[in-house]
Chain A
Amino acid sequence: MKAGTNLEKVLEDGQFAVTAEVGPPKGASDRVVIKKAEIVKACSDAINVTDNQTAVVRMSSAAGSILLKQMGADPVMQMTCRDRNRIAIQSDILGAVALGIGNILAISGDHHSLGNHPGAKGVFDIDSMQLIQSMKMLRDDHKFICGDDVSGDVPLFIGAVESAFSDPVEFRVTRLAKKVKAGADFIQTQGVFDVEQFATWMKGVTDRGLDEQTHILAGIIPMKSAGMARYMRDYVSGVYVPDELVKRMENAEDAKEEGLKITLEIIDQLEDVDGVHGIHIMAVGWEDIVPVIVEKAGLLPRPIV
């Protein structure tokens, strides 16, 4: 075991993992985090806490992760490269581990020009690949980026993201291979709507044997309305929503019901895709649906490992 987190145990046990997501509030209320986490806790193996998602200032992912930890959940602390240099990054990692956070997920971060402080100075000292590498160095070599020794152990289960549908599509398997080489123990993908195309990417992944070196969790985004489907199709980079699904959402009498149906179909198909070790459900602002999805997908109860 690298960090011995619940997520790591479930994945290493060969179980089909389920992770969910909690976005911290634009305020200091612990209640908001706890309330959202309570909804998804029993039906997931770990819960991601986003790091100022879409570059909008919110409670820090470290604080959110600690709140989750205190209620007995297993947090996945997201960490972007946008807002911290290597000094702050390494220091925050040590602090998080000291407080019992074992899963840390590296991402580049949405660009600050798109958030609510567009005049901020972006940091981008190291990139997400290099962040994965630095976490591995802290854990396995007990070294900081500069080469100095770290005192004691830094148990980490290292996460990363990949987007099978972003461009250049031909490069996306290579990019995953690099992340695995850098040290990613698990990967959460961007939301999948076109399972066939996702399976093509996964074929490239399994052909290179990457699924045996890392755990891939396919991203799931439940759609609440036709508007949301269109928005994701047109504006969310890296998410590819086929027109046919948009039409289904548009023609549905009960859009939420149809969204749930589509989600369950996708999960069902994903379970058959070779190399997929679980799902990561991103139900931003619709946490209530997560237990329903997990139950109807037949993924309850969650394993106790």
Chain B
Amino acid sequence: MIVGERKPFAEITELIKDSKKVLILGCGTCVSVCMAGGMKEVSILASQLRMDSGIQDKGMEFGEDTIQRQCDREYIEPIIELAKSHDVVVSMACGAGVQLLSDMLVPTPVLPAVNTSFIGICEEEGTWLERCRGCGNCLLGETGGICPVARCAKNLFNGPCGGSVNGICEVSPNTPCAWQLVYDRLKALDKLETLEEIQPIRDWSPSSNGIPRGVFREDMAGIGKESESASE
């Protein structure tokens, strides 16, 4: 899932300081699961903002709603009217949700209340960890299912640097060395010989060369419309 973290309260109040009628809009998917921007977090933020407005006599009004997914037009359409009846919408979705919402609500401004952090997992209650950087060229098959792009601080592809000690990465005592993990995993899978091969220089163009990426599938193009007309 996409993991995010709610922005500090002061930053949010600063963002909306010129508005009177604010809609706080949550997202029911990733950020809901990682407890940053779901229905519960919307209600907490709205009460905090109401209290703050009351104490400081700001006279602001706050509406609350949460939709299934802010990264999907289908779910945004039904709330367009509601959203536009506010001065501003504070989105608690990831950056993708905020952007689609902004596109669809012009001229109503949409402001982010969540910092989108990474693609990751919930390791245990209260701990989320990064697992993938969407590099567009997955090599987990060669590394025993442990990602050196997201998990090795130096993006090494040919085994651990000298900073790996007792399974810990040199960058911080809380970060396991990805290559120690790869080594242990490949050993367990009886595939250590994989590590003898030099991993060639990577083509980063499917990843982070700066050009916005898209996935375009001819086989899927227009399918939604077809089924719509079929059901008509």
Q: Which residues of A contact B (CB under 8 A)?
A: 81-82, 86, 108-111, 113-114, 122, 124-130, 133-134, 145, 161-163, 166-168, 171, 174-175, 177-178, 181-182, 190, 237-238
Contact = CB atoms under 8 A, between A and B. Distances in A.
Given A82-B154, A129-B157, A174 B162 contact: no
A129 B55 CA distance: 61
Nearest to B149: A124
Interface in B131-148: none
Given A111-B170, A177-B196, A168 B180 contact: yes
A97 B204 CA distance: 27
Residue of B167, B198, B199, B200 with highest tally of chain A CB at under 10 A: B198
Residue of B156, B167, B199 with highest tally of chain A CB at under 10 A: B156
A55 B172 CA distance: 15
Contacts, number: 101
Contacts of A178: 158-159, 196, 198
A125 B204 CA distance: 8
Given A122-B154, A130-B201, A178-B196, A168 B183 contact: yes
B166 interface: yes
A168 B164 contact: yes
B163 interface: yes
A113 B171 CA distance: 7
Nearest to B161: A108
29 contacts: A81-B154, A108-B156, A108-B161, A109-B154, A110-B170, A113-B153, A122-B154, A122-B155, A127-B155, A127-B156, A127-B157, A127-B158, A129-B158, A129-B159, A130-B157, A130-B158, A130-B199, A161-B162, A166-B162, A167-B177, A167-B180, A171-B195, A175-B158, A175-B160, A177-B196, A178-B159, A178-B196, A237-B162, A238-B165
Contacts of B162: 108, 161-163, 166, 190, 237-238
Nearest to A113: B171
B130 to A, nearest CB: 14
Interface of B: 153-167, 170-172, 177, 179-180, 183-184, 195-196, 198-202, 204
Given A127-B155, A166-B162, A237 B198 contact: no
Residue of A114, A130, A168, A181 with highest tally of chain B CB at under 10 A: A168
Contact of A111 (B163, B166, B183): B163
Contacts of B165: 166-167, 237-238
A255 to B, nearest CB: 26
A127 B204 CA distance: 13
Given A86-B201, A111-B170, A111-B171, A167 B158 contact: no
B154 A124 contact: yes
A112 to B, nearest CB: 9
Contacts of B167: 167
A87 B196 CA distance: 27
A134 B201 contact: yes
B159 A133 contact: no
Given A113-B171, A177-B196, A166 B155 contact: no
Contacts of A127: 154-158
A134 B171 CA distance: 27
Given A109-B154, A111-B153, A237-B164, A171 B201 contact: no
Contacts of A238: 162-163, 165
Nearest to B184: A168
A134 B200 CA distance: 10
B164 A166 contact: yes
B215 to A, nearest CB: 24
Given A129-B159, A166-B160, A178-B158, 5 more contacts: A129-B158, A130-B158, A133-B201, A166-B162, A168-B184
B171 A171 contact: no
A48 to B, nearest CB: 15
Contacts of B159: 129, 171, 174-175, 178
Contacts of A133: 198, 201
B160 A171 contact: yes
Contacts of A86: 201
A114 B156 CA distance: 18
Contacts of A168: 160, 164, 179-180, 183-184
Given A111-B171, A124-B155, A168-B180, A129 B198 contact: yes
